[in-house]
């Protein structure tokens, strides 16, 4: 059910012929209300795609009635024509749905630097509108896939202080992350809780900060990353901000794990936890530096607990630590102790897909975890063959 699990939403996923594979490539999610509150976060890449420029405007009033998404083309670096195409797509959906184009969020993903085939896009919008269903969330999740091998979906159910139930649902695509991101990450979240745009904005930024922004597949930031949250208020439940944010964070965390778990070519899912840090920011910087080391990531692919590549990445940061106080534990084995040689590295078992690297900074009590994956032959293969 995913984005149609909360009351007040319909969705669809259809095949418009944008993908050479003939797989579904246009998705539509509609909020039937009664409320139309919304919030979104976008890529911080300065070379942002046309739909990102459009959607930033559309969401700026805290309202969105629908999200139209396409795979099979990013509509990025496409100039004035590209922006016009995003606008035209929104207008087409708005006309059919009887809403304002300014309340339609547009998302695209695919190859950068090609104009979208607008005849196919517009026919796809028509087909998706005709196919809208109260159980269409899964179809929408499938239609936004690019190199994803499985659709990513998550649902959370909570109750407010009066015991009234509300639901948060989400779909995601992209083997990566928000900023930076591998390929493009697109996420649509829905809820039937009674909210308001300010509450949604705060909750979404909080949730994204500790979930999607800490999933770092390959350090590359997309031009199209978008996370949009729509609220219908249809449940009548009025959750507190803390509870709502916790539920939203749970959905985002599950989707982030699924994105990293399906990252292009990955053979290991790696969690890098920096702890005993002077600040959460320090912990994040340290964990991210390790997550971006190609030498570390290839070592994990080779099942080689090469902890020197962890320390050499940590050493590039300006986080608070003393080099000879650092310890590193890989899958439970403390291979580096106080900057030097710890337990025998041959004790580390890197056979399982899940890998946990823990870095003790001995500088405070803050921590953060970055999710990433290994760098494999298949990553090189998939990304060397993507557009050709």
Residues annotated as catalytic (active site), given as ranges: 184
What's the CA angle centered on 31, arms 30 and 36, to 5 degrees? 140
Q: Which of 34, 240, 323, 332 binds a second copy (CB under 8 A)?
A: 323
Q: Which of 31, 45, 71, 129 binds a second copy (CB under 8 A)?
A: 45
43 carries a ligand binding annotation: no
Residue 22 CB-density burial (10 A; 0-12 exposed, 13-18 middle, 19+ buried)? exposed
* CB closer to a second copy, 181 vs 239: 181
DSSP string, 93-119: HHHHHTS-GGGEEEEEBS-SS----HH
Q: Which of 326, 333, 361, 363 binds a second copy (CB under 8 A)?
A: 326
CA–CA gap between residue 140 and residue 12 (Å, rounded): 5
CB count, 10 Å around CB of 198? 12
Strand pairing report for 186-191 and 226-231: parallel
DSSP string, 270-337: EEEEEEEESSHHHHHHHHHHHHT-HHHHHHHHTT---THHHHHHHTTS--S--GGG-EEEETTEEEEE
146 carries a ligand binding annotation: yes
Alpha-carbon distance values, 166 to 7, 62, 156, 189, 195 (Å)? 8, 21, 8, 14, 11
Q: Which of 335, 355, 361, 370 binds a second copy (CB under 8 A)?
A: 335
- Binding flag, residue 375, a second copy (CB under 8 A): yes
Within 8 A by CB and 6+ apart from 267, the residues are 301, 353, 373, 374, 376, 378
Q: Which of 57, 198, 353, 381 binds a second copy (CB under 8 A)?
A: 381
Give the pair of three-digit tokens for residue 196: 């308001």
184 carries a ligand binding annotation: yes
- Binding flag, residue 353, a second copy (CB under 8 A): no
Stretch 268-307: interaction string toward a second copy, x if CB under 8 A: ------------------------xxxx--xx-xxxx-xx
Binders of a second copy among 101-140, rule CB under 8 A?
111-115
Binders of a second copy among 49-78, rule CB under 8 A?
74, 76-78
DSSP state, 215? B
383 carries a ligand binding annotation: yes
CA–CA gap between residue 361 and residue 358 (Å, rounded): 10
Give the pair of three-digit tokens for residue 92: 């087409």
Tell me the window of 30-38, 94-102, 273-281, 319-327 that interacts with a second copy (CB under 8 A). 319-327
* CB closer to a second copy, 324 vs 365: 324
* CB closer to a second copy, 130 vs 380: 380
Least distance from a second copy to the Cβ atom of residue 90, Å? 20
297 carries a ligand binding annotation: no
Question: What does the binding site for a second copy look like in residue numbers (CB under 8 A)?
Answer: 44-48, 74, 76-79, 81-82, 111-115, 180, 182, 218-223, 292-295, 298-299, 301-304, 306-309, 311-317, 321, 323-324, 326, 335-336, 338-341, 345, 375-377, 379-381, 383-388
Annotated binding site for substrate: 146, 173, 184, 264, 383, 388
């Amino acid at each position: 059910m995913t984005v149609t699990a909360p009351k007040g939403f319909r969705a669809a996923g259809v095949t418009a012929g944008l993908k050479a594979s003939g797989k579904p490539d246009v998705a539509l999610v509609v909020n039937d209300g009664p409320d139309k509150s919304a919030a979104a976060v976008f890529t911080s890449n300065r070379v942002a795609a046309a739909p990102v420029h459009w959607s930033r405007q559309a969401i700026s009033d805290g309202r969105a009635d629908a999200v139209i998404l396409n795979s099979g083309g990013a509509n990025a670096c496409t100039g004035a024509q590209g922006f016009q195409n995003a606008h035209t797509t929104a207008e087409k959906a708005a006309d059919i749905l009887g809403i304002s184009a300014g309340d339609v969020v547009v998302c695209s993903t695919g190859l950068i630097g090609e104009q979208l085939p607008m005849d196919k896009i517009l026919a796809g919008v028509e087909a998706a509108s005709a196919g809208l269903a109260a159980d269409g969330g899964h179809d929408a999740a499938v239609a936004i896939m690019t190199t994803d091998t499985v659709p990513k979906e998550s649902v959370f159910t909570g109750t407010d202080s009066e015991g009234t139930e509300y639901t948060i649902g989400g779909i995601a695509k992209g083997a990566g992350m928000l900023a930076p991101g591998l390929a493009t990450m697109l996420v649509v979240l829905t809820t039937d809780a009674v909210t308001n745009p300010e509450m949604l904005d705060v909750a979404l930024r909080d949730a994204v900060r500790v979930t999607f922004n800490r999933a770092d597949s390959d350090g590359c930031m997309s031009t199209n990353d978008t996370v949009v949250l729509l609220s219908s208020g249809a449940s009548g439940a009025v959750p507190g901000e803390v509870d709502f944010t916790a539920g939203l964070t749970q959905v985002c965390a599950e989707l982030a794990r699924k994105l990293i778990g399906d990252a292009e070519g990955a053979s290991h899912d790696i969690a890098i936890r920096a702890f005993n840090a002077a600040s959460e920011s320090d912990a994040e910087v340290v964990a991210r530096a390790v997550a971006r080391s190609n030498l570390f990531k290839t070592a994990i692919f080779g099942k080689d607990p090469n902890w020197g590549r962890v320390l050499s990445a940590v050493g590039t940061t300006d986080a608070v630590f003393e080099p000879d106080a650092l310890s590193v534990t890989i899958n439970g084995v403390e291979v580096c102790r106080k900057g030097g040689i710890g337990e025998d590295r041959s004790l580390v078992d890197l056979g399982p897909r899940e890998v946990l690297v823990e870095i003790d900074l001995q500088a405070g009590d803050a921590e953060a975890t970055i999710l990433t994956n290994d760098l494999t032959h298949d990553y090189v293969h998939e990304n060397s063959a993507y557009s050709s």
